[in-house]
Amino acid sequence: MLMQRSATGADLAALWELRTRAVRATCASHYPPDVIETWCATPPPAALPLRVRAGGAVVAEENGQVIGYAILNQDTGEVDAAFVEPAHQGRGIALRLMRELETMARLRGLARMFLSASLNAVPFYERAGFVPVREEVYPHRSGIGIRSVFMEKRLPQHA
């Protein structure tokens, strides 16, 4: 049974491993092997445990295994990550996770969410209600530039 819950510090290694598998499987159609290898070899960012501790990360879990996760910077509205195990993609898991991030953002009073989408992920984020703003080269912390699309989603506030 698929369940969603807040991520915890105990999930950190599993999240990063899932992210690496997803990047290798889904980004290879849009990026050259050397970019994928550099991207995947990069250690987790220092902000990852901070976002998890702050309550900005949600995981999808099935049969005790984390099969997807998404992370929101609750101060700025930036979606830091959204990944689903390759074998579980296409089931609507990522859309459910994004809806949870949107709820978090609204509760924080944020007017928008934004992200830098990998080229392969643009159609997914459009389905989630994000609008492409511009193409860009994302300055990855590994030192490489990753072609991407800056996208945003306006969040109407309810009284």
How much is the average pLDDT of 53-75? 95
Position of tokens 């609008």? 131
Least confident piece of the model among 15-19, 80-84, 137-141: 137-141
The per-residue pLDDT for 158 is 63
Start-to-end Cα distance in the chain = 35
pLDDT(159) > 70: no
Residue 155, SS3 per DSSP: coil
pLDDT(6) > 70: yes
pLDDT(128) > 70: yes
pLDDT tens digits, residue range 21-34? Answer: 999 999 999 999 99
The per-residue pLDDT for 156 is 84
Strand partners, 138: 146
pLDDT(82) > 70: yes
The per-residue pLDDT for 36 is 94
pLDDT(15) > 70: yes
CB atoms under 10 Å from CB of 6, counted, come to: 13
The proportion of the chain whose per-residue pLDDT surpasses 90, expressed as a percent, equals: 86
How much is the average pLDDT of 67-90? 95
